[in-house]
Amino acid sequence: GAVVSQHPSRVICKSGTSVKIECRSLDFQATTMFWYRQFPKQSLMLMATSNEGSKATYEQGVEKDKFLINHASLTLSTLTVTSAHPEDSSFYICSASSSWGTEAFFGQGTRLTVV
């Protein structure tokens, strides 16, 4: 199956700083990428959908200025958590799909801890 690599797998940052998470499709062109957030013992909540070369579409309640999403190429999307606060600590997961595909493939996830 197609491979999606997410980096880093774990990151700890100080309050007020920004952190960038990368999501790469290694063996296919990802025309669409999705970013999810998962709180402990809860389900995945879709944060935003990004299409290559376009602005991301954010779900209701997700602050676009806080969670910056860039999808500048067909193999890379980034999520930047700006001015992070402890309440932003969570597990972030990306997925990617191609224009011809019928499913999205998930990255391994990133555990963000803001201290």
Partner 1 sequence: AQSVTQPDIHITVSEGASLELRCNYSYGATPYLFWYVQSPGQGLQLLLKYFSGDTLVQGIKGFEAEFKRSQSSFNLRKPSVHWSDAAEYFCAVAPYNNNDMRFGAGTRLTVKP
Please tell me the distance from the alpha carbon of residue 40 to that of residue 83, in angstroms, as a whole number: 22
Stretch that binds partner 1, among 14-22, 69-77, 78-86, 96-104 (CB under 8 A): 96-104
- Residue 82, classified by CB atoms within 10 Å of its CB into exposed (0-12), middle (13-18) or buried (19+), is middle
Q: Is 70 in the site for partner 1 (CB under 8 A)?
A: no
Q: Indicate which single residue of 88, 95, 112, 114 sits in contact with partner 1 (rule: CB under 8 A).
A: 95
- List the beta bridge partners of residue 105: 96
Please tell me the distance from the alpha carbon of residue 9 to that of residue 30, in angstroms, as a whole number: 20
Q: Is the peptide bond before 8 cis (omega within 30 degrees of 0)?
A: yes
For the beta carbon of residue 101, count every other beta carbon within 10 angstroms. Answer: 15
Q: Indicate which single residue of 49, 80, 82, 113 sits in contact with partner 1 (rule: CB under 8 A).
A: 49
Q: Indicate which single residue of 13, 70, 80, 106 sits in contact with partner 1 (rule: CB under 8 A).
A: 106
Cβ nearer to partner 1, comparing 46 with 74: 46
* CB 44, min distance to partner 1, A: 5
Residues that bind partner 1 (CB under 8 A): 1, 6, 32, 34, 36, 41-46, 49, 91, 93, 95, 97, 101-104, 106-109, 111
